[in-house]
A = this chain, B = another copy of it.
Amino acid sequence: MEARSASAAAATLEEAASVPELLARGRSLCTPPLRAAVARLAAPMDTVAAYHFGWIDRDGKPVAGDGGKAVRPALALLSAQAVGAPAETGVPGGVSVELVHNFSLLHDDLMDGDETRRHRATAWTVFGPAQAILVGDALATLGTEVLLDAAVTGGASAADAARAVRLITTATRKLIDGQAKDVAFEAREAVTVEECLDMEGGKTGALLAAASAIGAVLAGADDRVSDALQRYGHHLGLAFQAVDDLLGIWGATEVTGKPHWGDLRQRKKSLPVAAALAEGGSASRRLAEQLADPEGRGEESEQVLAARAALIEEAGGRAWTQAEARRQHTTALAALDEVPMTDAVRRHFVALAEFVVVRER
């Protein structure tokens, strides 16, 4: 890394002092190449993808939306800076993780039968299941192509681009493993807390781990640094998912953009449920009985679901999950101590973690 680039990066970083600014920087640097990658898709997939990303409405008219918080691109840029490279070095990594993230959203929404996301109709409900499957497949493919392109355009060495491909590919497979377990768990009466954490580590932790290290890998970081940054992202993902599980039960639809009681209706074995089932007291046993009962599955009234949420809380599932989110958050921050980085970069990793975890307190 040249001294000139490193100081330019530091200057950029000082400008991006707050979380909203870090997120905005991730979006402004990554969205143009993200759009360029999506534009490679043949019609009608380019339209379906643009709708899914929130760039156009269902009639093809441009929309002023920003396509989500874009935490992953922000992390990817920051991880390049963690090893003294300019934020720009992380851009192909930020684009790649965003493509893979949205591949998984397209397929998950279809598999889960979710009809809304980010307060909009999901792509499969607008364009049909086949297009949601195909566009998801295509985004995953683009996620690899943009990293290989980085070696062609000189943004990374061929060896580092290949390492980044390995990072994103393995993360993608773990993500799919996690989703497969999530689906399989719905049909089971109970899962242990350990099984749930393993599933969530795949579903959410794997891609956040990749996002938190991919910029560093593109900048030539060694495995020790990459592993520590991945650990930060992994535990951050588990903290995020714990909060998401809480919102999935007790969050208002206006906040989550998802249907009320959706997780309970689908009998998702999320952390609060697993923790409540493990507790073993009277509320815990009543919850287990309800979940073992095939009667009325998926057709429970709001009242029944509200009573179930109360049982989970009574059995300690809510409090345990809140504590677990804090534990994972702390573990994530501890991993940062293993990587030598400037105080400014460290402060921003800490701030992004806080932003990801603190959504509903």
Contact = CB atoms under 8 A, between A and B. Distances in A.
Contacts of A135: 180
B181 A42 contact: yes
Contacts of A158: 158-159, 162
Contacts of A136: 137
Interface of A: 40-45, 103, 107, 110-111, 129-131, 133-138, 140-142, 144-145, 148, 151, 158-159, 161-162, 165-166, 169-170, 172-173, 176-177, 179-181, 183-184, 202
Contacts of A137: 103, 107, 136-137, 140, 172, 176
A110 B129 CA distance: 10
A133 B179 CA distance: 11
A161 B165 CA distance: 11
A181 B46 CA distance: 12
A170 B42 CA distance: 13
Contacts of A180: 42, 44-45, 131, 134-135, 138
A39 to B, nearest CB: 13
A131 B183 contact: yes
A287 to B, nearest CB: 25
Contact of A133 (B110, B177, B181): B110
Given A148-B166, A162-B148, A162-B165, A173 B130 contact: no
**In this complex, which of A134, A148, A170, A181 has the most chain B Cβ atoms within 10 angstroms of its Cβ?**
A134
10 contacts: A41-B177, A42-B181, A42-B202, A111-B134, A134-B176, A138-B173, A138-B180, A141-B172, A148-B165, A158-B159
A183 B137 CA distance: 15
Instruction: Classify the secondary structure of A's interface with B.
Output: helix
A73 to B, nearest CB: 21
Contacts of A42: 177, 180-181, 202
Contacts of A165: 144, 148, 162, 165
A169 B183 contact: no
Nearest to A202: B42
B111 A183 contact: no
A250 to B, nearest CB: 26
A44 B133 contact: no
Contacts of A166: 145, 148
Nearest to A137: B176
A183 B134 contact: yes
A184 B144 CA distance: 26
A41 B111 CA distance: 19
A17 to B, nearest CB: 38
A201 to B, nearest CB: 12
B177 A138 contact: yes
B138 A176 contact: yes
